[in-house]
Every structure is written in C-alpha cells, then in structure tokens.
C-alpha cells in the first residue's frame, strides 16, 4: 500500500494526525504502539524534536501499515531527509511551493499549512494532498465553512492547533475532514498508556461525525 492509499484509508477510519512534538527516539515504539493499536495510522514527528529522523525510521520500520512522517518540514532538503528515513508524510506550518513539489516528486503525502484562500488554492495547484488549516486558534469554524464553500469538494481540510475533544464538533459541522492533534494528545514524557487514553478520547469525540 502506497502513501496515498494509506492516507485515504485513514480518512475513512480515524482521520486524526498525531503530532508528537518533542518525542524522544526511545519513546517512538511504545508511543507508536499506543496509537496504532487504537487505530491511529497518521503520525508526524516534528523536525524540531530530538533526533526526529531516528524516531521516524523506528516507527516506519515497526508499523508499515501506518503513514509515518514529519512535521515542521520547511525545505526540500528536509523532505528528502524524511524520505530517506522511511517517512511518507510531510506536514508544514506554512506553504512553500518547493517543499510541496519535492514531496509530490517523491510520492509522499503533503499537507502544507494555510490560512487564506489564496494560500489554499496555491497549495492545491502545487500538488498538495490536503490542507493543514493552521493555526486553528485563529481560524474559527465559520472560516473553515467559508473556505469549504469555495474549495474543490474533494479537498482534504484538517484544522490544527488547539484542537481538543470538546471543540471538534463545530469544525466537523463546518466541513473539516479531520484534525491534527498535538499537545492534547502527547506531551514530552507522557507515558504511552496516557497517550492511548487521550487517543481513545479523541476517537470517541470524532465518531459518528466524520465527514465523508
């Protein structure tokens, strides 16, 4: 199964991207198991984490059914380094056409960060797989609804930033396809059992309201 097939399958089951900022390589497998065993298959390790490529390589090798990759990807070199480590997912806080084009060239799933309609359409034109709506703290469900009204119907829209089980429903009602989940799911040093508990809470909040 290639990266895009994994992404498509995840959107139909658990359309939640785990953002593991600050993850230590020694935590990669236990935290990865906590997520994958509950059905999460979209996992990003931001490149400003300790030795992120080591964690990506470990997870990608252990959980081939999951789509593992990096967040905070800022340059084409970053994209190539992630791919060399076995990653298949590229997530950025911004829209850099060169990053998107390199991810597309390498057959990777690419989710650039956008805030405006101009950025959103530019990212799609460059070949982005979907859009990371970031930071969601500044982008209300009403804004997501307005963007959804003008974007192609098939566009994957994932709000990221400050998402909790309690505030997901309005975004889903506005047309969100899923979410990126950060500190409410994982913080550095959090035990794998606690990550699993958090993962299950997010799944429960999303169940029955997933956009198809």
Task: Give the residue numbers marked as catalytic.
Answer: 44, 132
Contact of 100 with 107, CB cutoff 8 Å? no
Sheet holding 131-133, edge to edge: 113-114, 131-133, 157-159
Does an H or E element contain 19, and which? strand 16-19
Sequence-separated (6 or more) residues with CB below 8 Å from residue 17: 42, 43, 44, 91, 111, 158, 160, 178, 179, 180, 181
b/e per residue 184-206 (b: at least 16 CB within 10 A): bbbeeebebeebbebbeebbebb
What is the distance between the alpha carbons of residues 163 and 202, in angstroms, rounded to a whole number?
10
For the chain, the first-to-last Cα distance in angstroms comes to 21
What is the distance between the alpha carbons of residues 193 and 183, in angstroms, rounded to a whole number?
15
């Amino acid at each position: 199964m290639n990266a895009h097939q994994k992404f498509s399958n995840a959107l139909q089951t658990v359309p939640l991207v785990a953002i593991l900022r600050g993850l230590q390589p020694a935590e990669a497998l236990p935290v990865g198991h906590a997520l994958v065993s509950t059905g999460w298959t979209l996992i990003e390790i931001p490149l400003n984490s300790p030795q992120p490529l080591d964690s990506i390589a470990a997870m990608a090798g252990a959980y081939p059914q999951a789509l593992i990759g990096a967040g905070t990807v800022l340059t084409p070199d970053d994209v190539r380094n992630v791919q060399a480590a076995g990653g298949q997912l590229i997530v950025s806080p911004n829209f850099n056409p060169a990053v998107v084009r390199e991810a597309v060239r390498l057959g990777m799933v690419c989710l650039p960060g956008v805030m405006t309609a101009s950025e959103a359409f530019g990212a799609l034109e460059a070949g982005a797989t979907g859009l990371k709506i970031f930071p969601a703290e500044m982008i209300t469900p009403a804004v997501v609804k307005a963007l959804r009204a003008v974007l192609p119907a098939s566009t994957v829209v994932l709000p990221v930033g400050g998402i909790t089980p309690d505030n997901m429903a309005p975004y889903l009602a506005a047309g969100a396809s899923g979410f990126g989940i950060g500190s409410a799911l994982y913080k550095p040093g959090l035990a794998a059992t606690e990550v699993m508990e958090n993962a299950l809470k997010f799944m429960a909040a999303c169940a029955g309201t997933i956009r198809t």
